[in-house]
Chain A
Amino acid sequence: QKEVEQDPGPLSVPEGAIVSLNCTYSNSAFQYFMWYRQYSRKGPELLMYTYSSGNKEDGRFTAQVDKSSKYISLFIRDSQPSDSATYLCAMRFNTDKLIFGTGTRLQVFP
């Protein structure tokens, strides 16, 4: 069993939809949680970075962490074609090494 599980998709939604992306993890010692967005043939770029359980909002993006269920989510409101990318969850202990999910490919069609 992988430490971090993420549905690879692809997930295809119409423009304007609310998108929910999720990861589950097995190790309760993870303390920091991140979402990265990766466009085709580019490197991952950081979207959201959270420490504790709860919600963090940044524009159309909301990151949610539920440590009791070992479950994190990224919500995208009013999705746009420019949101079409692969979304990677990542997490770490109290060190700098990241453990990544396999990524979910999202396509938003006009």
Chain B
Amino acid sequence: DAEITQSPRHKITETGRQVTLACHQTWNHNNMFWYRQDLGHGLRLIHYSYGVHDTNKGEVSDGYSVSRSNTEDLPLTLESAASSQTSVYFCASSNGGEPQHFGDGTRLSIL
């Protein structure tokens, strides 16, 4: 069955470090999205991609970057981790006009 896999599921790191969260989908979807989920804010869009080599900023993109070198993967990088970036991160994918499918998230704690 097609799926989205996020890794790691949990990570603890220190402020100032670079962190990369992985997202791999086997749906063969063109569109991929990164969200963060925080209490009181719901899911907020960080970055998204509509295809290979395409990336776009979302609502809360400061401090984050993505790159899309193939259809299956969209890694999310925190350039210099800050405590405000402690959150649960979700990756999603879709084809144009269709609903998004989500991974099970990465819990990131920045101390």
Contacts and interface: CB of A to CB of B under 8 A. Distances in A.
A3 B45 CA distance: 14
B42 A102 contact: yes
A45 B99 CA distance: 10
Contact of A43 (B31, B40, B97, B104): B104
A interface secondary structure, majority = loop
B45 A98 contact: yes
Contacts of B40: 8, 102
Contacts of A36: 102
B102 A43 contact: yes
Main secondary structure of the interface of B (DSSP, over half): strand
A43 B94 CA distance: 15
Interface residues of B, number: 24
Interface residues of A, number: 20
B31 A44 contact: no
30 contacts: A6-B42, A8-B40, A34-B99, A36-B102, A41-B104, A42-B105, A43-B4, A43-B90, A43-B102, A43-B104, A43-B105, A45-B102, A46-B100, A46-B101, A88-B42, A88-B43, A96-B94, A96-B97, A96-B100, A97-B33, A97-B48, A98-B33, A98-B43, A98-B100, A100-B42, A100-B43, A101-B42, A102-B40, A102-B42, A103-B42
Given A88-B42, A96-B94, A98-B100, 6 more contacts: A44-B90, A44-B102, A46-B99, A46-B101, A96-B96, A96-B100
Interface of B: 4, 31, 33, 40-45, 48, 50, 58, 90, 92, 94, 96-97, 99-105
